[in-house]
Every structure is written in structure tokens, then in C-alpha cells.
Amino acid sequence: MIVLALTALTVPASDAEARHTGNVRTQVIDMVVIHSTGGPTCDAGTGKPIWVGAGTLEENMRKIEADPKLGIHYMIDRDGTLRASVPEDEVANHVFHYSGRSIGIELINDGDGHDPFPEAQLASLVKLLRDIKQRRGIARDGIKRHSDLDHALLSCDRTQRRKVDPGAAFPYESILDRVFQP
Ligand SMILES: [Zn+2]
């Protein structure tokens, strides 16, 4: 109890708030970008490509909110639990070149094309996308996968794409059908 209380006291309120805020929007939101938390990266120690697994919702939320350069609007766990981070009206840096006009959603998944997306997680995503679409007037082709927008290669392996999320196991067309069905 004491340890927890002391730890809480050492985090200044301003820092705690800063992690949930982004820049004010100057562009209209016409896009939603879907991510998975797992994916390829270059290992800082070996300089070799590695695959980072999905991780937990808590781990990912902590990591992203502690990074001053990164941000996300929503994160959805495998069981459908939805967490909000940066408010939609502020820019979260989740995709190169398109963050200013988009809302970012992270799904807890390995992003390797094998790890299945449970129906509870997909149902929660569909509900959120329908809500955003209705409030923001997003078109069907405005819902993108991160891999649709970033075709750059890994700096440590020029034969591999940097961003392949959410991966081939994500039922993209079926999700779009569910969101846009009358
Ligand atoms: Zn991504």
C-alpha cells in the first residue's frame, strides 16, 4: 500500500495528462486506421529483425502512453474490452503521413496472419467503427489497415515490410460489410 502510494505521488499530474493528449486537429477526419499491437521490428541489441508479439492491453497502453512520439485513440482487447486514450479531436501519431486526418485503433493481436481475432474483439471493433462512421461520416474506403498506408521497408532488413498489421488473419472485407450494412 505504501509503495503504491509513493509511486503514485512521484508521477507529476502534468505528465500523467500529457500522455493522453495530442496536437489539435487542423485537418478533417476522413479516415480510420486499424492496427495490431504485434509486428516486425529491428532488435535494438542485435540489429536483426524480430517479431514482437501482441502483448497485453495494459502493457501496450502503458508503453504507448509513455512514449512522447506515439499515440492511439482506441485499443481493443481480445475479449472486446475497449479503452480510449487520446481524444478523437486531437492528433495521435499512429501512422506516417496520415495521422492528421485519421483515428487510430489498435487490436491486441500478433499481427502475423496466424493469431486469430476472436469474435468478441471483432464485434467491439464493428460497434466502434459504426459509431465513428455515423458521427464523422467516414466512407467505406476511408477505413484502412496500417499495411495499406505504409509500404516502407525495415531499416535492418530491406527485404521485409516495416508495417504489415493487422495482417492476413484480420477479416477486413467482412468487417467493412458489417460496418456498412444497412
Ligand atoms: Zn500499425
Distance 1 CA to ligand 1 centre (A): 37
pLDDT tens digits, 149-171: 999 999 999 999 999 999 999 99
In a domain, 2, yes or no: no
Q: Report the domain count for the chain.
A: 1
CA 168 to ligand 1 centroid distance, Å: 13
| The pLDDT of residue 1 is above 70 | no
Going from the Cα of 6 to the center of ligand 1, the distance in angstroms, rounded, reads 35
The answer, yes or no, to whether residue 115 has pLDDT greater than 90, is yes
Q: Is 110 exposed, middle or buried (0-12, 13-18, 19+ CB in 10 A)?
A: buried
pLDDT at position 182:
84
- Residue 17 Cα to ligand 1 midpoint, Å, equals 24
User: 134 by DSSP, 3-state: which?
Assistant: helix
Assigned domain for 118 exists: yes
* pLDDT at residue 179 greater than cutoff 60: yes
Q: Tens digit of pLDDT for each residue in 19-53? A: 577 889 999 999 999 999 999 999 999 999 999 99
Burial of 104 (0-12, 13-18, 19+ CB in 10 A): buried
Distance of CA 122 to the CA centre of its chain: 14
Q: Is 115 helix (H, G, I), strand (E, B) or coil?
A: coil
Phi and psi, residue 60, nearest 5°:
-65, -40
Q: How far is the CA of 94 from the centre of ligand 1 (A)?
A: 7
Q: How far is residue 8's CA from residue 176's CA, in Å, rounded to a whole number?
A: 42
Alpha-carbon gap, residue 5 to 7, rounded angstroms:
5
What is the extent of the structural domain holding 116?
Answer: 28-180
Q: Is residue 6 part of a domain?
A: no
Give the Å distance between the CA of 36 and the centre of ligand 1: 6
- Residue 128 is part of a domain; what is its CATH number? 3.40.80.10
Quick check: is 10 in a domain?
Answer: no
